[in-house]
Amino acid sequence: MESQIRGGTRWKRFAVVMVPSVAATAAIGVALAQGALAASFSVSGQSFKVSADQLVGYDFIQYGSIDAGTDLKGNKTANPVAVSGFSRATITNMCQSVVTPDVPLFGNISLELRAGTNAKKPVTATNIYIDVAQLEADAEFENIDIGVAAGDKTNKTGINPGDQANPYGFAQRADKATLSKVEQTAWATTAGTFKLSNLSLKLHKGVKECF
């Protein structure tokens, strides 16, 4: 897919979204696979990786924020992020991975989650927000507005409640966003509902990441 160009900007490596974090247990993962549940995921003090063949999302908004939390040692953390939100989205062939280092007796342990591997049954989500640190993808946007206010009330998705964001700060929005060949690093994800089809969750000894 060719990237859309507007105002001299190529969107191939645009820092947009994608999907939720990998701090889910197997029980949570199975519950999400069986029905659409509210979801709020983050990895304590760690970023996680997500890849997908394609994400199609509607009522896209993106704005700057700070992801605050606590790491595994109890230290407070703060990371600048680009928050990307959609009112609804579908994700095809999704992979999520997080590596926990230096586990006693085992060393590095990787958690790998895959879902939506059947193109006819993609992962689905509503009111999804992803705190993105980095993303690479081919991207196409429909009716995009750049430089709007993050708290503009005409945007259907709007700022995620509780985010540390300036409502008058720089933001961008679009009616629809289509991303392909997605590789993303993120800190957290929240969603009103999140449903994983064809869920597979595995633990690996050593480092095994989605990309």
Residue 4 lies inside a defined structural domain of this protein: no
Q: Is 53 exposed, middle or buried (0-12, 13-18, 19+ CB in 10 A)?
A: middle
Residue 191 pLDDT > 80:
yes
State residue 103's pLDDT score.
83
Residue 36 lies inside a defined structural domain of this protein: yes
Residue 115 lies inside a defined structural domain of this protein: yes
State residue 44's pLDDT score.
58
Residue 146 lies inside a defined structural domain of this protein: yes
Q: What mean pLDDT do residues 4-9 have?
A: 43
Which are the contacts of 56, defined by CB distance < 8 A and separation ≥ 6? 89, 90, 176, 177, 178, 179
Residue 210 lies inside a defined structural domain of this protein: no
Written as six digits, the tokens of 209 are: 């990441």
Residue 211 lies inside a defined structural domain of this protein: no
Q: What mean pLDDT do residues 179-183 have?
A: 98
Residue 158 lies inside a defined structural domain of this protein: yes
State residue 170's pLDDT score.
93
Residue 204 pLDDT > 90:
yes
Residue 27 pLDDT > 60:
no
State residue 183's pLDDT score.
98
Q: DSSP characters for 52-83?
A: EEEEEEEEEEEEEEEEEEE-TTS-EEEEEEEE
Residue pLDDT, tens place only, 66-116: 988 777 677 888 899 999 999 999 999 999 999 888 888 889 999 999 999
Number of domains composing the chain: 1
One-letter amino acid for residue 192 of the chain: G
The least confident of 39-48, 96-105, 124-133 is 39-48
Separation of first and last alpha carbons in the chain? 20
State residue 28's pLDDT score.
46
Confidence of residue 1 (pLDDT cuts 50, 70, 90): very low
Q: Is 150 exposed, middle or buried (0-12, 13-18, 19+ CB in 10 A)?
A: buried
CA-CA distance, 92 to 76, in Å (whole number)? Answer: 35
Segments forming the whole domain that contains residue 173:
13-205
Residue 6 lies inside a defined structural domain of this protein: no
Residue 175 pLDDT > 70:
yes
Gyration radius from the chain CA atoms: 17
Is there a contact between 88 and 56 (Cβ–Cβ < 8 Å)? no
CA-CA distance, 185 to 188, in Å (whole number)? Answer: 10
